[in-house]
Amino acid sequence: MGDSNLPKLVIFGDATKGHVAEIIAEFLDFAKGKAEVLASCGIEDCTVDILQEADFAVVFGGDGSITSAARHLSQMNVPVIGVNLGKLGYLAEFNVDELKEFFPSLTSGKVRIDKRMMLACTISGKEKAEFCSVAINDVVITSGPPFKMIELKISVDGQPLAGCIGDGLIISTPTGSTAYNLSAGGPILSPKMEAMVITAICPHSLSFRPIVINAESTVEVFGVRVNEGTTVSIDGQVSRKLSIDDVVRIERHKGDFLVVSNPLRTQWDTLATKLSWAEKPKYKSDSTPTG
């Protein structure tokens, strides 16, 4: 029997990548006597019964590993402790050393958990089964081969919003606002906000600017003209082909993505250190070289 006062953890990480297996093994050794580890496995291999017993999910990897885990955990309300082993690690609040330093907070209950909204995406068509998925970052419609411009119609709460001719469309959560949305010229939203961002990808218009809408809105996208390879991509990890007869419906998911916050840094620290936001210009030195 385990100690009921110890936090119950599930550990996720792709042991085939880099030093992930070695780092997880070191952490398991560190956690002995400090936590009850229910399972250490791939997210797809973890059963619902185990997840229901877990207090926290510790995810070792990059942002892709965390978004994948968060989609699987979306129905379970298990807070995620993200440990960055990737290149950027914007979603991962901790590095390995910070996790060890933070660990006593888990046993003392002094843990701050942030709620972040998610999106529910449904694709329905005349001749195929309905597809549903949860999105942590974004739902992206991309033109695909043969890479001709596509035309989409967008409605919000049943009211026509705009037509979009270009390379596609991004509907993003606040968490995903610093992902593809940011690269496409969309705004940065505080991850704790409740809103959606609609951003066109290379629109054939100088006036199609990104728009921020209420989180409780329902967005519907209709394909007026699409390519053979036009797809709907969820967090860049799950994709489905989009046909002209399909309707893509995006709305707020009823659950939340629960993230354990790192007390050693703020959301603005992360924005500045990871993405160099608001970095000062590199001024020339006032000193005059000699010689």
89 within some domain: yes
Domain at 137, CATH number: 2.60.200.30
Please state, in angstroms and as integers, the Cα–Cα distance from residue 32 to each residue in 27, 41, 56, 115, following that order: 9, 17, 16, 29
Residue 217 falls inside a structural domain: yes
pLDDT tens digits, 50-76: 888 999 999 999 888 999 999 988 888
Structural domain includes residue 283: no
SS3 96: helix
- The angle formed by the CA atoms of residues 102, 189 and 134, to the nearest 5 degrees, is 80
Q: Are residues 151 and 222 in the same domain?
A: yes
Find the helix or strand (DSSP H, E) in which 117 lies: strand 113-124
106 and 159 share a domain? Answer: no
Task: Encode pLDDT of 146-168 as tens digits.
Answer: 999 999 999 999 999 999 999 99
Q: Are residues 230 and 150 in the same domain?
A: yes
Q: Is the pTM of this model over 0.75?
A: yes
- Tell me if 249 is assigned to some domain: yes
Mean confidence (pLDDT) of the chain: 91
**Same domain? 36 vs 136:** no
Give the per-residue pLDDT at 288: 56
Q: Could you tell me if residue 288 is inside a domain?
A: no
- Asked if residue 265 and residue 236 are part of one domain, the reply reads no
Range of the domain at 42: 8-112+261-275
pLDDT value at 261 more than 80: yes
Q: Is 5 exposed, middle or buried (0-12, 13-18, 19+ CB in 10 A)?
A: exposed
Number of domains in the chain: 2
pLDDT band, very low/low/confident/very high, at 4 (cuts 50, 70, 90) = low
pLDDT at residue number 149:
97
pLDDT given at position 107: 77
> What pLDDT is recorded for position 5?
81
Active site residues: 63
